[in-house]
Amino acid sequence: MTESPEAAQILRRAAWALRAQFFVAGALFATWGVHVPSIKDHYGLGEQALAIAMLASGAGSVFALLQAGRVLAHRSPRKIAPALVLACVAAIGNLLTTSSYAVLLALMLAYGVAAALFDVAINDEATALELATGRHLMSGFHGMFSLGGLAGAGTWSLLAIAGVLPVAHLAGASVALGVLSLAASRCMLRQERHGHAEGGHLSLPRGSLALLGLMAAIGLVGEGAMYDWSVLYMRQELAAPAASASLAYASFSLAMAAGRFAGDAVRARMAPVPLLRWSGLLGAIGMTLALVAGQPWAALAGFALVGLGFANMVPVLFSAAGRTPGVTPAHAIAAVSSVGYFGMMVGPPLIGFIAQARSLKAGLVVVIVFSLVVGLLARRALRAAA
């Protein structure tokens, strides 16, 4: 059935609005990520205390994921996105306005809750748009997340050279991203949620979806590590200046964005199993280069390879989840994304605890191991979902 011009226009506007929301989510992650060294210095934290702050965000995310099904069953992404993004920007904008470690933990907890719900909501909206348009859009949406990460990191790199204080950057970025997200929310899909449709609920995945969710979590551990630890690695281990160190996040995000924007074309030419295997291998090679080279320029090249390797892991896994027999695509993707997001939020604190016990370099070896695990599990996971 051919859709009307009015309906097609609504879908186009909703798709661009959602691209803006993914951009905002990525930029918020980057804004937090590039200021990990600033927060560490401001509060006088060691790696363990910093990891606990990250764990507070992870704990908030776990709580949010347990409630996400109930929230999205009754309220559409369009309705809840404004409140969630306001909570995110309020938390990020105030990270350096206090000297209390307890307040920092509370802000990270609040950010974890709001960011997790926002992430699941926009992925839910992405699934709805794919179903409504009959087109593959997921890689492009996730590419906007990476582009947002690049913009967030690159902006701070320029502002740091200009002498702008970190607290000013956090406040300015929060206001700008909040305004963009609120404007985009007005063009998102108008969906009716009544609390009983299967696709509106999130639950812990079982069977093949559990394995896909585990792989997404493993892959996103590495992605989360780049957000939270790459800049500090450049500053602390390689003695790079602040402006250069923030390029670690930017190089990762640029490469990931490029890989995701090309993702649909790559997936059309390469089967999912070899694509995941090559992705895992490339991520492991890149992280190894960053850790053993000992030079900032080599580390930046390594982070870029990690970004290319991780670029299409999540889109491939979400696509496989959406084809799982006996489960609606929206429900399957939401369940897998919830477990995957758990990996992104819990992985960085795990690396922090290893860094406290050994070194940050030792902690980041986790990224190498998990990248290889994704490649090893690719055939089993995708065969189970077929």
Cα distances from 58 to residues 83, 109, 137, 342, 346, in angstroms, run: 20, 7, 28, 7, 5
d(CA 136, CA 256): 18
Residues 352, 51: contact at Cβ < 8 Å? yes
Closest CA to 120 of 255, 13, 267, 21: 21
Tokens of 79: 């309705």
Per-residue pLDDT of the chain (386 residues; tens, 9 = 90+): 456 788 889 999 999 999 999 999 999 988 988 898 899 999 999 878 988 888 888 788 878 877 777 787 788 889 999 999 999 999 999 999 999 999 999 999 999 999 988 988 888 888 788 878 887 787 788 889 888 988 888 888 889 888 999 999 999 999 999 999 999 999 999 887 666 544 444 456 677 788 888 888 888 888 878 877 888 889 888 888 877 887 887 888 889 889 988 877 787 788 888 999 999 999 999 999 999 988 889 999 999 999 999 888 888 887 787 677 776 665 676 678 778 877 877 787 888 888 888 888 999 999 999 999 998 988 887 876 55
- pLDDT value of residue 135: 79
d(CA 291, CA 213): 28
Phi, psi torsion values for 305, nearest 5 degrees:
-65, -40
- pLDDT value of residue 379: 87
Provide the Cα torsion 347, 48, 157, 220; round to 10°: 0
State the burial class of residue 195 (Cβ atoms within 10 Å of its Cβ: 0-12, 13-18, 19+): exposed
Tokens of 377: 């599990």
Scan for tokens 């560490």, then name that residue.
40
d(CA 181, CA 18): 9
Tokens of 349: 């604190």
The amino acid sitting at 243 is A
- pLDDT value of residue 301: 94
- pLDDT value of residue 166: 93
237: Cβ–Cβ under 8 A, 6 or more apart, which residues? 359, 360, 361
- pLDDT value of residue 157: 81
The amino acid sitting at 344 is M
- pLDDT value of residue 199: 44
Question: Angle of helix 208-236 relative to helix 313-322, nearest 10 degrees?
Answer: 170
76: Cβ–Cβ under 8 A, 6 or more apart, which residues? 188, 189, 190, 191, 192, 193
Phi, psi torsion values for 5, nearest 5 degrees:
-60, -35
Please count the helices (runs of H) and the strands (runs of E) in the chain. 16, 0
Closest CA to 323 of 76, 131, 68: 131
Domains of the chain with CATH codes: 5-189+203-385 (1.20.1250.20)
d(CA 211, CA 205): 8
Measured from the Cβ of residue 7, the count of other Cβ atoms closer than 10 Å reads: 11
Cα distances from 112 to residues 25, 28, 64, 199, in angstroms, run: 12, 12, 8, 24
Measured from the Cβ of residue 353, the count of other Cβ atoms closer than 10 Å reads: 16
Spell out a b/e string for 299-318, using b for 16 or more CB atoms within 10 Å of the CB, else e. Answer: bbbbbbbbbbbbbbbbbbbb
Its sign, for the CA torsion 89, 95, 97, 102, is positive
The amino acid sitting at 17 is A
